[in-house]
Structure 1
Amino acid sequence: MKFLRFGPIGEEKPGIIDQDGVMRDLSAHVDDIAGANLSEDSLSALGQIDPTTLPKVPENSRIGACVGDIGKVICIGLNYSDHAAESGMAVPPEPVIFFKATSAVCGPYDNIEIPRGSNETDWEVELAVIIGKHTKYVDEADAMDHVAGYAIMNDVSEREFQQRRSGQWVKGKSCDTFGPLGPWLVTKDEIADPQNLGMRLSVNGHQYQNGSTATMVYKVPFLISYLSQFMSLQPGDVISTGTPPGVGMGQDPKVYLKPGDVVELSIDGLGDQRQNVEAG
């Protein structure tokens, strides 16, 4: 199943994609794609509804982030060995964890805003894992039972803020619009192997990233188990699992986003995103 949220910012309604790829309005059956509605039982019940009985989503509706009321966005740094190499950093002996402010999350086709004072705004296509139920001290063998589904995230990053402004990476990761998420929450039953998904990102038609989740250092079940040793994970929490090589920082010379650029990205089975870049 593929779920989505549509409508103006702050007024998003829940939806589902029917077998013909048509967006259908679920708001008569559920208030949001969020919280307790992300449990396996709840999503399965929604999937039993005949989508042809649901109204179509109005044409030209804005598509919002595919999950509402996100408690936290947990990101994993340097989780692809070839990306670590292009960043001039070693693969860490344990996952690098940092947070992205939930206020950075936006729709998959919303504009990316270059923050004031930025000269190094960069892109990162990433597989996002959406947690479906309370998770604490979970074993790796049971970790996938806690997944609601998957989505695309563009982990937009300001490299100067991140690396040369002291302190944690969060400063370079949390500007408004730095977390396009969606277009869909794809339930885990539709993704046979989350570790075998092609990932691509282009800017102005030039492909910079062309990788696969197969080259992750720390795989999805391990990450869920690992994180749950340090914090409880709640329904709707998002884990963004790292990016393959090809970011702007890794180019020679370096390439960063500027107003007027167009970013397009996709992951196998999870749809695509497109963002216009503008001055913030």
Structure 2
Amino acid sequence: MRHARIRFEGDIHFATVEGEDNVLHLADGRRIQASDAEWLPPATGSMFALGLNYADHAAELAFAPPTEPLAFVKSVGTYTGHDQITWRPDNVAYMHYECELVAVIGKPARNVKREDALDYLAGYTVCNDYAIRDYLENYYRPNLRVKNRDATTPVGPWIVDVADVPDASNLKLRTWINGELRQEGSTKDMIFDIPYLIEYLSSFMTLQPGDMIATGTPEGLADVVPGDEVIVEVEGVGRLVNRIVSEAEFFNHQILKNKKLAEQEA
């Protein structure tokens, strides 16, 4: 089962997704076409993102693979949904995508053992964790300006039940820029897998329902610019589409969008 969070006719709905055409089944019984809805991030908890969790990506950046998880936190304001826009800041030299499998927590998790970890998941989703490399301070601590800009982390399109992904440790990840395949890897190459990460994080904090663990990206990064369409895909989980615009275009769009929402709520 695939579970989405959308905005339709000014209201936020939780929906299940049916068929290859992605028909949305709302809780009130209505069925609508995906093209009639605005896709929202399917979860809105904290995101714990892993740095350098693929050895080939660490090598690509000339870093040694980590010996324990390198995790950082992303704010809710960074999230945006499937088929939405994000922006490249003015006057930066290098902005790249990161295709990532995301584990979504389904119930409070504290001191969870590895063998029980999957029992605490609601399911899996996909994210594109854009990074502004200009501001990277060091390999283990991404500066806030690298990873926490408004609407620069597309998440979605939906959450897939754990039971529908039999082996999350062997899924292909791919990224396309304007239709050209630019990144390809597999979750089998993660240094720290999802059960390990749940055990590790829950050993010193309580993970809450809706929290997300973004598990890192393989090698194959490239610069992206306004006008690019970027598609990231995790096999068996979902394909997440995002378009990049300029800084001015993005914030003008946000002003118009907020005005429209205010009018709908009035």
Q: Is 1:171 paired with 2:138?
A: no
Q: Is 1:267 paired with 2:234?
A: yes
Structure 2 portions without partners, runs of 5+: 248-266
| Shift in CA distance, 156/9, structure 1 to aligned 2, threshold 3 Å | farther
Contact 1:106 1:180 in 2 (8 A): yes
Instruction: Pick the aligned partner of 1:100 from 74, 87, 107.
Output: 74
The alignment partner of 2:200 has SS state of helix
Return the alpha-carbon distance in structure 2 between the equivalents of residues 168 and 20 of structure 1.
38
Return the alpha-carbon distance in structure 1 between the equivalents of residues 71 and 120 of structure 2.
19
Query: Aligned-residue CA RMSD in angstroms?
Result: 2.0
The alignment partner of 1:7 has SS state of strand
Q: Partner letter of residue 119 of structure 1?
A: A
Between 154-163 and 57-66, report the one with greater CA deviation. 57-66
Aligned match of 2:161: 187
| Shift in CA distance, 173/92, structure 1 to aligned 2, threshold 3 Å | same
Contact 2:48 2:74 in 1 (8 A): yes
Instruction: Pick the aligned partner of 1:129 from 85, 103, 113.
Output: 103
Write out per-residue CA displacement over residues 226-276 of structure 1, whole angstroms, 9 at most, x where no aligned residue: 01112210000011000011012xxxxxxx111111111211111211111
The alignment partner of 1:183 has SS state of strand
Structure 1 portions without partners, runs of 5+: 29-53, 249-255
Q: Partner letter of residue 31 of structure 2?
A: K
Matches within 5 A, 1:60-209: 60-67=36-43, 70-163=44-137, 168-209=142-183
Instruction: Pick the aligned partner of 2:32 from 57, 72, 86.
Output: 57
The alignment partner of 2:197 has SS state of helix
Return the alpha-carbon distance in structure 2 between the equivalents of residues 9 and 115 of structure 1.
31
Aligned residues: 245
Query: Alpha-carbon deviation of 1:168?
Result: 4.1
Q: What TM-score, normalized to structure 2?
A: 0.86
| Shift in CA distance, 226/10, structure 1 to aligned 2, threshold 3 Å | farther
| Shift in CA distance, 139/56, structure 1 to aligned 2, threshold 3 Å | same
Contact 2:18 2:25 in 1 (8 A): no
Structure having the higher strand fraction is 2
Q: Partner letter of residue 197 of structure 1?
A: L
The alignment partner of 2:233 has SS state of strand
Contact 1:9 1:64 in 2 (8 A): no
Query: Alpha-carbon deviation of 1:17?
Result: 1.5
Percent of residue pairs bearing the same amino acid type: 33
Write out per-residue CA displacement over residues 4-60 of structure 1, whole angstroms, 9 at most, x where no aligned residue: 1121699431110135654233333xxxxxxxxxxxxxxxxxxxxxxxxx3112443
Return the alpha-carbon distance in structure 2 between the equivalents of residues 74 and 185 of structure 1.
17
Query: Alpha-carbon deviation of 1:162?
Result: 2.6
Contact 1:115 1:175 in 2 (8 A): no
Return the alpha-carbon distance in structure 2 between the equivalents of residues 19 and 168 of structure 1.
39
Return the alpha-carbon distance in structure 2 between the equivalents of residues 191 and 25 of structure 1.
21
| Shift in CA distance, 127/167, structure 1 to aligned 2, threshold 3 Å | closer
Q: Is 1:2 paired with 2:2?
A: yes
Return the alpha-carbon distance in structure 1 between the equivalents of residues 183 and 154 of structure 2.
17
Q: What TM-score, normalized to structure 1?
A: 0.82
| Shift in CA distance, 9/150, structure 1 to aligned 2, threshold 3 Å | farther
Contact 2:46 2:75 in 1 (8 A): yes
Q: Partner letter of residue 177 of structure 1?
A: A
Write out per-residue CA displacement over residues 162-184 of structure 1, whole angstroms, 9 at most, x where no aligned residue: 337x9643320111121111111
